[in-house]
Structure 1
Amino acid sequence: MVRANGAVSLRELARVVQTSEVTVRRDVRALEAEGLLDRRHGGAVLPGGFTRESGFPQKSHLATAEKTAIADLAAGFVEEGEAVVVGAGTTTQELARRLARVPGLTVVTNSLLVAQALAHANRVEVVMTGGTLRGSNYALVGSGAEQSLQGLRVSRAFLSGSGLTAERGLSTSNMLSASVDRALVQAAAEVVVLADHTKLGSDTMFQTVPTDVITRLVTDEPPAHDDRALTELQALADQGVQIAVAGPGAGSGPVGGGEGGGSAGRQSGRLGASQGRGGGEEGLPLPGPRRNHPHPPGGPGSAQLRTAVPLAEQQPGRVADLAPRRR
């Protein structure tokens, strides 16, 4: 099943073989030890970092709780009346469902699923790119999509991908998708990457957003034993990426409609103010903001904490206290 689909969920495996997820998880662990597949949260994928992209049905069942929490938190960074671009993906689809509650919003997207999630929102204008439909992820790609983005300028781009590393940034397994994502990035003043912890440290074929262009990463808290993800988060912070860590109930307050752009925006602003903006007690530099990007909605100090509290001790839905390490 993994070879046929690129990825599979434990729930689906248990249903097909008519056994418990506990049994399936044990067998998947044994197959990983033999090098036949790689485990991911809630499922398994083909071994190696440069795997082919799995289809939407498979991806939609992986890390669903994490994607929901990430979308809740990310929606709080969007202000009433903004214009944003939202790329294709299962996590951005979750984000779109929450953006439907932000009045006066304009969303530019190449994703049919994002557009569908916003189709019945009363005060949200949806602008779709042109292009050729790519059925595996219901996205418009190709030269038509890229040309329709020329001359466009919005405040933020929200993107997801197949992998994220500090060395290479965001990447995906499909060349056409990567090309459109790069065009979406060119249209935005800030770039917000939505990626659950299973994508941290994974690298795929086509780079979409280099690390020095990423303004903020919204992710979930990796398990304490996931050293690769934790190391990658610190490395991203060292390069100036602002890290926002989502958890259960994150961003569950009202979205948009006020100063700071909703609950997450207001929260990050308060945190930034309480921790200080001057680089901390030893004058160490803060992680961000990115070059040539305006400050995020919480004010100049928003999401720029430097007290370096271990990630495992962070409260869910708060901006992580990741500071650059001293060289």
Structure 2
Amino acid sequence: MYAEERRRQIASFTAVEGRVNVTELANRFDVTAETIRRDLAVLDREGVVHRVHGGAVASQTFQTTEFSLDARFRSAPTAKSAIARAALQFLPESDGGLFLDSGSTIGTLAELIAERPQSRYWSVVTNSLPIALNLANKGLPEVQLLGGSVRAITQAVVGDTALRTLALMRADVAFIGTNALTLDHGLSTADAQEAAIKAAMVTNAHKVVVLCDSTKLGNDYLVSFAGIDDIDVVITDPSAPESFLTALRDREIEVVVAD
């Protein structure tokens, strides 16, 4: 595991548990205590956690940092591939409509959707420029890219034109990515315009399936776009804290752990 991915998991685990100690983290990630101390020092400087004697406590600040689409694809690629494969079970059995937002894990799912024989029966609506081009190049006959402005950092279409179009649409399933997921604030992201598109997809879908690797659990970003009660399914990876998954199940959310 790369240091960056380990630190993201440490940040998530700290956010969920509230407090962590060096010894437990060293055992969890099979590294030395000194490595964990260095990780905590980096996270403390970034404002993600607060160092305390023997470990760290969660920071209460809202995050605003965005990463490029390439950087997102490089983060936790194994987990994202497993999550995308697990999401296939929620595709319509025959014809149906899909919303695909602009998340990196959703992009991995789109690759798999293009390989399914049934894909020619599905109508796909997306605000992701790369996803729309990929699905069209693979020969899917019903792919609609929302119109509007393109955000360079995520290559996502946003704006009033896209929102007006979505207001007229309904989908059987919305596959949604997120920067963060907490029990109190639900799903959140850094940009208000992208949050608005995600919220519209959530509102206008019969079933909402959230693809969320474990590094995002327990974190909060600046703009909330859906509450816990808006979610039907959460798909994550085995590194997710069991206490968090239990809390989701207690709220009658279906939890799938992809491995």
Structure 1 and Structure 2 fold alike (TM over 0.5):
yes
Whether 1:133 aligns to 2:159 is no
Which residue does the alignment assign to 1:214? 231
The partner residue of 1:36 within 36, 45, 51 is 45
Tell me by how many angstroms 1:123 deviates.
4.2
Partner amino acid, structure 1, of 2:108 = E
Amino acid at match of 1:70: I
Aligned equivalents of 2:188, 2:148: Cα separation in 1:
21
Higher strand share: 2
Partner residue in 2 for 1:96: 110
Query: Counterpart of 1:97 in 2: which secondary structure?
Result: helix
CA RMSD of aligned residues (A): 2.5
Name the CA shift for 1:105/1:235 in 2 (closer, same or farther; >3 Å).
same
Picking from 91, 95, 99, the partner of 1:85 is 99
Query: 1:65 maps to which residue?
Result: 78
Say which SS state the counterpart of residue 207 (structure 2) adopts.
strand
Match of 1:230 among 218, 221, 242: 242
Report the alpha carbon displacement of residue 49 of structure 1 after superposing the two structures with TM: 4.5
In structure 2, the partner of 1:242 is 254
> SS at 1:67's partner residue?
helix
- Give, in whole Å, the separation in 2 of the partners of 1:134 and 1:174: 10
Q: Deviations over 1:200-229 (max 9, x none)?
A: 111111111111010111111116xxxxx3
1:250-284 per-residue CA deviation (whole Å, 9 max, x = no partner) reads xxxxxxxxxxxxxxxxxxxxxxxxxxxxxxxxxxx
Q: Note the C-alpha offset of 1:121.
A: 2.8
Q: Distance in 2 between matches of 1:29 and 1:106?
A: 49
Structure 1 residue ranges without an equivalent (≥5): 1-7, 11-21, 40-46, 224-228, 248-327
| CA-to-aligned-CA distance 1:278-299 (integer Å, 9 cap, x gap) | xxxxxxxxxxxxxxxxxxxxxx
1:253 corresponding residue in structure 2? none
Match in the other structure for 1:176? 193
* Distance in 2 of aligned mates of 1:203 and 1:213: 17
> 2:56 aligns to what?
none
Deviation at 1:186, TM superposition (A): 2.0
Return the alpha-carbon distance in structure 1 between the equivalents of residues 63 and 209 of structure 2: 23
What aligned pairs does 1:148-159 form with structure 2 within 5 A after superposition? 148-159=165-176
Question: How far apart are the structure 1 equivalents of 2:45 and 2:77?
Answer: 24
Instruction: Quote the offset at 1:131 in angstroms.
Output: 1.1
Shift of 1:165: 1.1
Q: Normalising by structure 1, what TM-score? A: 0.61
8 Å CA contact 1:163–1:171 kept in 2: the answer is yes
Match in the other structure for 2:127: 110
Deviates more, 1:179-188 or 1:211-220: 179-188
Distance in 2, Cα, partners of 1:26 & 1:60: 29
| Whole-Å separation in 2 of the counterparts to 1:124 and 1:9 | 39
Question: What's the secondary structure of 2:137's corresponding residue?
Answer: coil
The offset of 1:188, in angstroms, is 0.7
Q: Structure 2: which amino acid aligns with 1:174?
A: D
Kindly, what percent of the aligned residue pairs are identical? 31
Q: What is the CA-CA distance between 1:124 and the residue it aligns to? A: 4.3
2:62 and 2:167 map into 1 onto residues whose CA distance is 32
Paired residue secondary structure (2:142): strand
Which range moves more in the overlay, 163-172 or 73-82? 73-82
Which protein is richer in helix relative to its size? Answer: 2
SS in 2 for 1:32: helix
**Cα distance in structure 1, aligned partners of 2:132 and 2:220:** 28
Equivalent residue for 1:198, pick from 203, 207, 215: 215
CA distance in 2, matches of 1:127, 1:238: 36
Question: Quick one: distance in 2 between partners of 1:49 and 1:207?
Answer: 11
CA distance in 1, matches of 2:35, 2:210: 33
AA paired with 1:243? V
1:52 Cα deviation after fit: 1.9
Q: Is the 8 A contact 1:68 1:94 kept in 2?
A: yes
